[in-house]
């Protein structure tokens, strides 16, 4: 998906048609469309031919695209859980795993990368009342596996604005919520994690009324940011500059309207004391 969106961006910038791009790699306009939508893989050789057609001569930039093409043939750890995830969420996990900066706004629950095992279990059980114990355990294991990236050598930066309402909405019993609050206090001390709590006292604005969203940024300027918004039965991915820019501005407003990470930890301690 990342590779396809960047190839589309290059093609459109140069004013080259899909038909001409398809001819350059001995293929069709329809295949170029599927490649650009991230629905089919593309060989490294074909990527290099397209880059030549699009006038990309910088070796570093070309290498970034070729590396992305090669990585599409490598199954990530999350594919072991693909049988229990919708395809649109498999895509998100792959993007999250590749990101160097994750910015998220959550309104109804603690962000998945920050959940404790007990909180995640309670949340999954509430959302999947008919699931058996084994299914719940696998979904919790997936969530915990995602969190390992935060302590990896090449850990991404994670900036989360969490609505105070999410902390007051109970998932599990009192001890589960207390454990979750303690975990947030502890993990927010990590240098790559910036957690801010948006208090009830901040009324918000029309720009932030659309609900939860995530902005994923990737290493190097060649790969554009992606906005992800989860829906009940699908997800929306945005990568057009004008759309992404609006969400970046919304995130800035949320961050500026919320207490800084240190004061947010104080708020978490107050909630823990009251719970």
pLDDT recorded at residue 156: 95
pLDDT recorded at residue 223: 73
- Report DSSP state, residue 37: T
Q: Which CATH architecture has domain 2-71?
A: Orthogonal Bundle (1.10)
Q: 173-203 burial by CB neighbour count: b if 16+ within 10 A, else e?
A: eeebbebbbebbbebbeeeebbbbbbeeebe
Q: 141-157 burial by CB neighbour count: b if 16+ within 10 A, else e?
A: ebbeebbebbeeeeebe
Q: Which CATH number fits domain 80-274: 3.30.870, 1.10.10, 3.30.2000, 3.30.70?
A: 3.30.870
Task: Using the predicted structure, report yes or no on whether residue 206 has a pLDDT greater than 60.
Answer: no
Task: Using the predicted structure, report yes or no on whether residue 251 has a pLDDT greater than 90.
Answer: yes
Residue intervals of the chain classified under CATH 1.10.260.40 are: 2-71
Q: Are strands 226-230 and 157-163 parallel, antiparallel or unpaired?
A: unpaired
CA 223, CA 239: separation in Å to the nearest integer? 10
Least confident of 32-46, 109-123, 130-144, 182-196: 32-46
CA 19, CA 193: separation in Å to the nearest integer? 45
Overall residue count recorded for the chain in this entry: 275
Task: Using the predicted structure, report yes or no on whether residue 227 has a pLDDT greater than 70.
Answer: yes
Residue bearing the bigger pLDDT, 91 or 252: 252
Residue bearing the bigger pLDDT, 156 or 219: 156
pLDDT recorded at residue 73: 67
pLDDT recorded at residue 242: 93
**What's the whole-number mean pLDDT along residues 24-36?**
91
Question: The whole model's pTM is what?
Answer: 0.80
Residue pLDDT, tens place only, 61-97: 888 888 888 877 666 788 888 888 888 898 899 889 8
pLDDT recorded at residue 215: 97
Cα distances (Å, whole numbers) of residue 166 to 12, 180, 213: 42, 11, 14
Residue intervals of the chain classified under CATH 3.30.870 are: 80-274
Which residues contact residue 203 at a Cβ distance below 8 angstroms, ignoring those fewer than 6 apart?
Answer: none
Residue bearing the bigger pLDDT, 235 or 75: 235
Q: Identify the H or E element spanning 65.
A: helix 59-71
Which residues contact residue 110 at a Cβ distance below 8 angstroms, ignoring those fewer than 6 apart?
Answer: 119, 162, 166, 167, 180, 184
Cα distances (Å, whole numbers) of residue 237 to 18, 29, 91, 194, 227: 22, 23, 10, 24, 6
The residue whose two tokens read 């750890």 is 77
Residue bearing the bigger pLDDT, 216 or 131: 216
Which residues contact residue 87 at a Cβ distance below 8 angstroms, ignoring those fewer than 6 apart?
Answer: none
């Amino acid at each position: 998906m990342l590779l396809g969106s960047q190839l589309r961006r290059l093609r459109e910038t140069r004013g080259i048609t899909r038909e001409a791009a398809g001819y350059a790699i001995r293929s069709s306009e329809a295949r170029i469309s599927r490649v650009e939508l991230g629905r089919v893989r593309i060989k490294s050789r074909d990527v290099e031919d397209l880059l030549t057609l699009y006038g990309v001569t910088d070796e570093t930039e070309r290498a970034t695209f070729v590396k992305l093409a090669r990585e599409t043939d490598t199954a990530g750890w999350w594919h072991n859980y693909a049988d229990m995830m919708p395809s649109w969420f498999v895509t998100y996990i792959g993007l999250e795993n590749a990101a160097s900066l994750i910015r998220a706004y959550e309104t109804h629950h603690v962000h998945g990368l920050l959940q404790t095992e007990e909180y995640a279990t309670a949340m999954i059980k509430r959302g999947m009342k008919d699931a058996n114990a084994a299914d719940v355990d696998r979904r919790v294991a997936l969530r915990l596996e995602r969190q390992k990236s935060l302590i990896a050598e090449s850990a991404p930066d994670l900036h989360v604005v969490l609505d105070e309402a999410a902390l007051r909405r109970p998932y599990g019993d009192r001890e589960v919520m207390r454990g979750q609050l303690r975990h947030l206090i502890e993990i927010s001390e990590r240098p790559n994690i910036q957690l801010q709590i948006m208090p009830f006292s901040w009324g918000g604005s029309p720009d932030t009324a659309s609900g939860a969203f995530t902005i994923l940024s990737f290493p190097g300027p060649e790969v554009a940011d992606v906005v992800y918004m989860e829906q009940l039965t699908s997800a929306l991915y945005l990568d057009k500059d004008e759309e992404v820019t609006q969400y970046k501005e919304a995130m800035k407003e949320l961050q500026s309207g919320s207490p800084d990470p240190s004061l947010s930890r104080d708020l978490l301690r107050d909630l823990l004391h009251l719970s």
